[in-house]
Structure 1
Amino acid sequence: MNTKTIRDMRRARLAGLAALLGASLGMMTGAAHAQDPQTLRFGVEASYPPFESKAPSGQLQGFDIDIGNAVCQRMQVKCVWVENSFDGLIAALEARKFDVINSAMNITDKRRQQIDFTPAVYVMPIQMVAKRGAGLQPTPASLKGKQIGVLQGSTQEDYVRKHWASQGVSIVTYENQDQIFADLAAGRLDAAVQEVQTATDGFLSKPQGKGFDFAGAPLRDPTTLGEGTGFGLRKNDAALRAKVVAALDSLRQDGTLAKLSMKYFGRDIVAK
């Protein structure tokens, strides 16, 4: 056997070892990114009371948080909460930073193009808030030249851009709801559009909301505002979706969801 043949045999052996090592690493990487069957990771943007917010202690609290914890209990898994900006929730879900979006996200056709949803868990009206006595109404004619605040990436943003932005209404987007309320109270905004309970609990019932009120009737447009709020999941996670839906159905049937709704809102907003 000559020297060249020996070298060729060594190269072939090394190439085989490299391929085997690469395959092993690939399997390990895949396992590392696989969902832990004992854990359910929820993505949340925690500045939207009473749905999700932080207590002074830093602990997450709210209607969606309680529902999520109840789902984990029914599924017999550990809940892990991953905080993320609202407008980045879908991208973070697809990047596998968490398994389920649970953050007051309305179900719309636009979002369904990217992700799947559970059936609606609850339905909450969307309404505009403005200074009491300002005479503003949620119409392009009334709001022309005004500054309207909305949460970035929300269905509210889709609505106001579709119906108002092209008719002289200035739309200002924010990364979280607290910033909207701060600018509204400071006079940097003329009005803000958000879910009714969020406006009530996060602004109107607080000292900074004194002198403000709902302006006009709730907004309506199923295309942009959706058909209720549900959990968002990746399109290829059918098995996980089935488990989450089964847990939600169980919580609906035994009255747990209705009890949580009464706790936070004094009425039943659970989707039937």
Structure 2
Amino acid sequence: MNRPLITLTAAAVLGLSATAQASEPLKIGISAEPYPPFTYTSSEGEWTGFEVELGMAICEAMERSCEITPTGWSGIIPSLKAGRIDMIMNSMSITEARKRVIDFSDPYYFTPGAFVAADDLTLGGPDDLGGKVLGVQAATTNATYARRALRDSVGDIRLYDQAEQVNRDLLAGRLDVILADKIAMNEFLERDEAEGYEIKATAPRHEAYGEGVGIGLRQDDDALQADLNAAIAEVREDGTCSALSEEYFGTDICT
């Protein structure tokens, strides 16, 4: 006689647990190293930027609360798989290699890699890299492209943990050219200290760059993936993504 009551009680507890889990804020993992204008800290010390604002708009469309959780870039996928964050929204390109270990939402933007060097350096594209020292951030699609497509044509490829380290070594003359996200480079070139540098060329379409940028997810989070895809479609269709893109970049990069 008591067995049905036990079953019902267990079901009720499980239901309450699921409800509590759904009400907990989703943790959006971003790199702890600022990546303006996508992610950076404001003068008040708060995280902001294109992807931070877009992430919050996506959460609002899902009717879920979210919080930004800075995580070292090199450990961001392990943090996702370990459950310390719920998703990665940090200009992570959807590639075959990454899809073997995590899932992705639909893409929300695509932008090519750009070669940046001093104004007086002759560089029309990858074929002109012979003898040059190229800097690129490790564990990025640009690094994968450099390793696969440029290793036989460039003089030396130097990998860095952080994007800002690459920028600093270019300005210090320790690099001849850098390869990085074109939108981020447009922002970098607006700095006073970057006067005398320019985008020389963009990288050609290559398998290393994948299908565009999406939100990284654990492979079993099918419900969250479906909710995110619906929310991404909503912020694209209602103009939110395009408006934020125009605000931060002066152009529409939303796919």
Q: Same fold (TM over 0.5)?
A: yes
Which band: TM-score by shorter chain?
0.7 to 0.9
**Separation (CA, whole Å) in 2 of partners of 1:246 and 1:38:** 20
1:210 counterpart = 2:195: yes
For residue 229 of structure 1, the aligned residue among 209, 213, 217 is 213
**In the alignment, which residue of structure 1 is the partner of 2:247?**
263
Larger Rg, first or second structure (1 or 2): 1
- Residue ranges of structure 1 left out of the alignment (5+ in a row): 1-30
**Separation (CA, whole Å) in 2 of partners of 1:106 and 1:253:** 22
- Residue ranges of structure 2 left out of the alignment (5+ in a row): 1-16
Aligned length, in residue pairs: 237
Deviations 1:42-84 (A, max 9, x none): 1101421111111232211111001111112122222111112
Greater than 6 Å deviation, 4+ residue runs: none
**Separation (CA, whole Å) in 1 of partners of 2:44 and 2:90:** 20
Any conservation in 2 of the 1:151–1:173 contact (CA below 8 Å)? yes
**Separation (CA, whole Å) in 1 of partners of 2:72 and 2:173:** 25
For residue 90 of structure 1, the aligned residue among 63, 67, 77 is 77
Q: Alpha-carbon deviation of 1:186? A: 0.5
Any conservation in 2 of the 1:108–1:222 contact (CA below 8 Å)? no
1:148 counterpart = 2:131: no
Structure 1 residues 97 and 35, CA gap change in structure 2 (3 angstroms): farther
**Paired residue type of 1:95:** A
**TM-score normalised by length of structure 1:** 0.82
Moved more, 34-43 or 151-160: 34-43
For residue 252 of structure 1, the aligned residue among 222, 236, 243 is 236
Q: Alpha-carbon deviation of 1:36? A: 5.1
**In the alignment, which residue of structure 2 is the partner of 1:129?**
116
**In the alignment, which residue of structure 1 is the partner of 2:54?**
67
Any conservation in 2 of the 1:129–1:193 contact (CA below 8 Å)? yes
**Separation (CA, whole Å) in 1 of partners of 2:213 and 2:226:** 17
**Paired residue type of 1:197:** I
Q: Alpha-carbon deviation of 1:134? A: 1.1
Taking only the aligned residue pairs, the percentage that are identical comes to 33
**In the alignment, which residue of structure 2 is the partner of 1:243?**
227
**In the alignment, which residue of structure 2 is the partner of 1:105?**
92
Structure 1 residues 189 and 78, CA gap change in structure 2 (3 angstroms): same
**Paired residue type of 1:183:** D
**Separation (CA, whole Å) in 1 of partners of 2:163 and 2:21:** 31
**Separation (CA, whole Å) in 2 of partners of 1:35 and 1:130:** 49
Any conservation in 1 of the 2:114–2:182 contact (CA below 8 Å)? yes
Deviations 1:128-183 (A, max 9, x none): 000111113432x5223322111111000000011112445311112221111111
> What is the DSSP-based 3-state SS (H/G/I as helix, E as strand, rest coil) of the residue aligned with 1:104?
coil
